[in-house]
C-alpha cells in the first residue's frame, strides 16, 4: 500500500475528491496518510480533520525563500514516508531539492489544457480568466508529473470542458472541477499506486 501525502493551500475540493474516491475503494493500493497545508487557515485542513486524516501546517509565509521552505518540506515528506505526493491546489512553487528527491512521484492538477494557460503566474481563477479573455471554446484540466519547470512535467491525463457564452471565471472553474479535476486526479492517483504509469522519452503512458 502506497502512502499518499496531499499538499494543499485552499478550499481543498480536490482533496475531498481524493478522500471520497478512497472511501469508494477507487484508489487501488494507495491511502491518504497525511495532508500538508502551506496556509494555516486552509479549509482543506477541516476536510482532513473531518475524515480522520493527519494534517500538518507548514506556513509558506514563515520562510524567506523557496529553498528554505523546500528544505523543511522535504524533511516532512521523508518523515511521512511519502510514496506519492499530490499537489491539490498547492499554490507554492516547490524547490528543486524536493522535486529531485521525488522524481516522477509528485503529481499536480492544473486547471487548463497544458501547454495552454500554464506556467509561472497561472494558478487558480487566473487560469480561467485568461481562457475567457482569449475566447477559447474548449478548456479543461491536466494531471501531470512535476519537474523543475512550472507545469512542464510529463502529462498523465487530460480532460475537456466546454466554454459557454456568459461564463464567468468562477462558473468555468466550477465546471472544469466537476467535469474533469475531481475525476481525473483520483484516477491518476490510483494508476500511480498500481504502478500503471510509465515514462518513455520524457512522456507518460498508461499500462
Ligand atoms: C483547482 O482548480 C486546481 O486545479 C488549481 O487550484 C484549484 C484549487 O482548488 N490549481 C492550480 O492552479 C495550480 N497551478 P481546491 O483547493 O478546491 O482543490
Given this model, what pLDDT does residue 61 score?
97
What residues line ligand 1, using a CB cutoff of 6 Å? Answer: 10-14, 88-89, 109-111, 123-124, 127, 173, 177, 181
Q: Which atom of ligand 1 is nearest to the CA of 150?
A: 14
From the CA of 124, how far away is ligand 1's center (Å)? Answer: 5
Q: What is the mean pLDDT of residues 171-185?
A: 98
From the CA of 56, how far away is ligand 1's center (Å)? Answer: 19
d(C-alpha 181, C-alpha 82), whole Å: 22
Using alpha carbons, select from 199, 198, 193, 162 the residue that is nearest to residue 28. 193
Q: What is the mean pLDDT of residues 79-104?
A: 97
d(C-alpha 121, C-alpha 118), whole Å: 8
Given this model, what pLDDT does residue 171 score?
98
Q: What is the mean pLDDT of residues 9-36?
A: 98
Instruction: Clarify whether 110 is annotated catalytic.
Output: yes
Given this model, what pLDDT does residue 79 score?
98
Cell numbers describing residue 179: 467535469
Cβ-Cβ contacts under 8 Å for 15 (sequence gap 6 or more): 6, 8, 35, 44, 47, 48, 88, 89
Please tell me which residue in 28, 110, 128, 144 is annotated as part of the active site. 110
Q: What angle do CA 172, 178, 182 make, to 5 degrees?
A: 125
pLDDT in tens, 125-153: 999 999 999 999 999 999 999 999 999 99
Amino acid at each position: 500500500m502506497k502512502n499518499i501525502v496531499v499538499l494543499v493551500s485552499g478550499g481543498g475540493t480536490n482533496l475531498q475528491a481524493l478522500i471520497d474516491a478512497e472511501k469508494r475503494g477507487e484508489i487501488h493500493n494507495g491511502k491518504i496518510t497525511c495532508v500538508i497545508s502551506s496556509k494555516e487557515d486552509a479549509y482543506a485542513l477541516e476536510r482532513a480533520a473531518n475524515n480522520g486524516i493527519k494534517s500538518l501546517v507548514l506556513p509558506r509565509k514563515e520562510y524567506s525563500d523557496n529553498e528554505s521552505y523546500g528544505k523543511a518540506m522535504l524533511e516532512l515528506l521523508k518523515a511521512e514516508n511519502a510514496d506519492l505526493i499530490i499537489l491539490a491546489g498547492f499554490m507554492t512553487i516547490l524547490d528543486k531539492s524536493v522535486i529531485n528527491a521525488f522524481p516522477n512521484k509528485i503529481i499536480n492538477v492544473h486547471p487548463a489544457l497544458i501547454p495552454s494557460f500554464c506556467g509561472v503566474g497561472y494558478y487558480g481563477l487566473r487560469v480561467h480568466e485568461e481562457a475567457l479573455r482569449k475566447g477559447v471554446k474548449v478548456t479543461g484540466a491536466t494531471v501531470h508529473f512535476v519537474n523543475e519547470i512550472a507545469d512542464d512535467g510529463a502529462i498523465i491525463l487530460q480532460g475537456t470542458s466546454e466554454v459557454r457564452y456568459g461564463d464567468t471565471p468562477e462558473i468555468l472553474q466550477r465546471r472544469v472541477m466537476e467535469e474533469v479535476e475531481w475525476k481525473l486526479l483520483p484516477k491518476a492517483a490510483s494508476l500511480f499506486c498500481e504502478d500503471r504509469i510509465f515514462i518513455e522519452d520524457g512522456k507518460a503512458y498508461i499500462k
